[in-house]
C-alpha cells in the first residue's frame, strides 16, 4: 500500500500508535535564530515522537552544514531509532514545515519511500488541542535498516556549474527574496550575498497556507509554473544549506510534477567559494 508524501493530523491521531509507525521531530533552526531544535523538542513534542537530529544525520567530515551522510552512518543511526525497511515513518517540525522535508528527502535518498511529512507540523497539532509530552523517549529497539541510494536525487557543485553553463536545467532557490537578491547579508560568516546566476527564486514560504499546511496541488502547480517549471526541463532546488530546498521537492511531488534533485551544498557552499559566479538583484 502506498504511503506519503503527506499525512494529516487526523491520520496521525488515528494511526500513530500502530507498531510500524515511527514518528520524528526533525526540527532545526537557522544560525541567527536563538533556538535549538532538541531543546525545544524536550519542552514539547507529539507523544511517541523521537528526535531526528539533522546535524547528526549529516557528513561530519565536511565543514558544510547538513550535507548527506554516508550510507553506513545513516543506516546505523536510523536503525538505532527503531526504524527498519518496513517502517512507516512520519516526520514533522516545530515551525509547521521548515526542516521536516529535509528528513523526508533523506529517507527517500537512501531508498525508503514509506515516509511522509505531517502537514502543518507541531503548530497545527497543538492548535487543534491535541496532546504533547516532554523529555526524552524510551530507548528504541535497534533494528536493521538497509540503504538503497537514489543518486539522481542529489546534485553537487559540478552538476550545478554544468547546468548554468549549458542552460538546460532550471535552478530554483527556496530562500527569502531579500537573501536571493543580495539585499540582506547571509547569517553564516564568509558566505557572500546573492544567488546562482540564472536561478529563479521561489521562497518555500509561498508554498504554505497560514496554518503551515501545504497549498493544494493546483495552487502549487501555478506557483511552479510562475517560477519557470514546465514539466520538461530538469529542476535542481537550492537554498541556504539544503534544508528548505527539500520543501520545494515536496511541493513538486504534491503537485504531480516530475521529480527534481537537491543541490546539497546549496548557497553556503556556492557563496563561500571564490571561484563560483554570483549574481544579485531581482530576476
Average pLDDT taken over every residue of the chain: 97
Residues 6+ apart with CB under 8 A from 204: 97, 98, 174, 239, 244, 245, 247, 248, 251
Segment 77-123, tens digit of pLDDT: 999 999 999 999 999 999 999 999 999 999 999 999 999 999 999 99
Cis amide prior to 5 (ω within 30 degrees): yes
Taking 90 as the threshold, does the pLDDT of residue 61 lie above it? Answer: yes
User: What value does the mean pLDDT take over residues 243-260?
Assistant: 98
- Whether 145 and 173 map to the same domain: the answer is no
Q: What is the pLDDT at residue 41?
A: 99
- Whether 10 and 49 map to the same domain: the answer is yes
From 93, 115, 149, the end of a domain falls on: 149
Alpha helices, DSSP H, located in 8-120: 9-15, 37-43, 71-80, 100-109
Q: What is the pLDDT at residue 2?
A: 67
Taking 60 as the threshold, does the pLDDT of residue 1 lie above it? Answer: no
Note the pTM of the prediction, 2 decimals.
Answer: 0.97
From 149, 178, 196, the end of a domain falls on: 149
Domain limits at 30? 6-149
User: What value does the mean pLDDT take over residues 144-148?
Assistant: 99
Residues 6+ apart with CB under 8 A from 226: none
User: What value does the mean pLDDT take over residues 147-171?
Assistant: 98
- Whether 70 and 49 map to the same domain: the answer is yes
Segment 180-216, tens digit of pLDDT: 999 999 999 999 999 999 999 999 999 999 999 999 9
CB atoms within 10 A of CB 33: 11
State the total domains in the chain: 2
Characterize the bridge pairing of strands 154-155 and 115-118.
Answer: unpaired
How is residue 202 written as a grid cell? 521561489
- Whether 67 and 200 map to the same domain: the answer is no
Sign of the dihedral defined by the CA atoms of residues 135, 139, 141, 146, in that order: positive
- Alpha carbon distances (Å) from 2 to 67, 113, 260, 266: 28, 9, 20, 31
User: Is residue 277 in some structural domain?
Assistant: no
- Whether 191 and 109 map to the same domain: the answer is no
3-class secondary-structure state, position 28: coil
Higher pLDDT, 259 or 4: 259
The catalytically annotated residue of 116, 239, 248, 261 is 239
- Whether 15 and 116 map to the same domain: the answer is yes
Q: Which residues partner with 154 through β-bridges?
A: 262
Tally the residues of the chain.
Answer: 283
Q: What is the pLDDT at residue 283?
A: 76
Backbone angles phi, psi at 235, to 5 degrees: -125, 135
Between CA 8 and CA 47 the distance in angstroms is: 16
Query: Above pLDDT 70, what percent of the chain?
Result: 99
User: What value does the mean pLDDT take over residues 266-273?
Assistant: 98
- Whether 135 and 200 map to the same domain: the answer is no
- Whether 120 and 220 map to the same domain: the answer is no
Question: 180: part of which helix (H) or strand (E)?
Answer: helix 177-180
User: What value does the mean pLDDT take over residues 254-269?
Assistant: 98
CB atoms within 10 A of CB 79: 18
Backbone angles phi, psi at 208, to 5 degrees: -115, 150
Structure confidence at residue 3 as a pLDDT band (50, 70, 90): confident
Characterize the bridge pairing of strands 115-118 and 88-92.
Answer: parallel
Verify whether residue 239 is a known catalytic residue.
yes
Q: What is the pLDDT at residue 4?
A: 81
Q: Which of 136, 123, 112, 274 is nearest to 208 (CA)?
A: 123
Backbone angles phi, psi at 121, to 5 degrees: 60, -155
Residues 6+ apart with CB under 8 A from 93: 25, 26, 27, 28, 37, 99, 100, 121, 122
CATH number for position 199: 3.40.250.10
Amino acid at each position: 500500500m502506498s504511503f506519503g508524501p503527506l499525512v494529516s493530523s487526523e491520520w496521525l491521531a488515528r494511526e500513530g500508535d500502530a507498531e510500524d509507525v515511527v514518528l520524528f521531530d526533525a526540527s532545526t533552526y537557522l544560525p541567527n535564530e536563538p533556538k535549538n531544535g532538541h531543546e525545544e523538542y524536550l519542552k514539547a513534542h507529539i507523544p511517541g515522537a523521537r528526535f531526528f537530529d539533522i546535524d547528526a544525520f549529516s557528513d561530519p567530515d565536511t565543514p558544510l552544514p547538513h550535507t548527506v551522510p554516508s550510507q553506513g552512518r545513516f543506516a546505523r543511526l536510523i536503525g538505532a531509532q527503531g526504524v527498519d525497511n518496513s517502517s512507516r515513518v512520519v516526520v514533522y517540525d516545530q515551525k509547521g514545515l521548515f526542516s521536516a522535508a529535509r528528513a523526508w528527502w533523506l529517507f527517500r535518498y537512501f531508498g525508503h519511500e514509506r515516509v511522509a511529512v505531517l502537514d502543518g507540523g507541531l503548530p497545527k497539532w497543538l492548535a487543534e488541542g491535541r496532546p504533547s509530552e516532554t523529555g526524552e523517549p524510551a530507548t528504541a529497539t535497534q533494528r536493521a535498516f538497509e540503504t538503497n541510494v537514489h543518486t539522481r536525487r542529489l546534485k553537487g557543485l559540478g552538476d550545478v556549474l554544468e547546468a548554468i553553463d549549458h542552460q538546460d536545467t532550471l535552478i530554483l532557490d527556496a530562500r527569502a527574496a531579500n537573501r536571493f537578491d543580495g539585499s540582506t547579508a547571509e547569517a553564516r560568516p564568509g558566505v557572500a550575498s546573492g544567488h546562482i546566476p540564472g536561478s529563479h527564486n521561489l521562497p518555500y514560504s509561498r508554498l504554505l497556507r497560514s496554518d503551515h499546511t501545504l497549498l493544494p496541488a493546483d495552487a502549487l502547480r501555478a506557483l511552479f509554473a510562475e517560477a519557470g517549471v514546465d514539466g520538461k526541463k530538469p529542476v535542481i532546488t537550492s537554498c541556504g544549506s539544503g534544508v528548505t530546498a527539500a520543501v520545494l521537492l515536496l511541493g513538486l511531488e504534491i503537485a504531480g510534477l516530475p521529480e527534481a534533485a537537491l543541490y546539497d551544498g546549496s548557497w553556503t557552499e556556492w557563496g563561500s567559494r571564490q571561484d563560483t559566479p554570483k549574481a544579485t538583484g531581482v530576476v
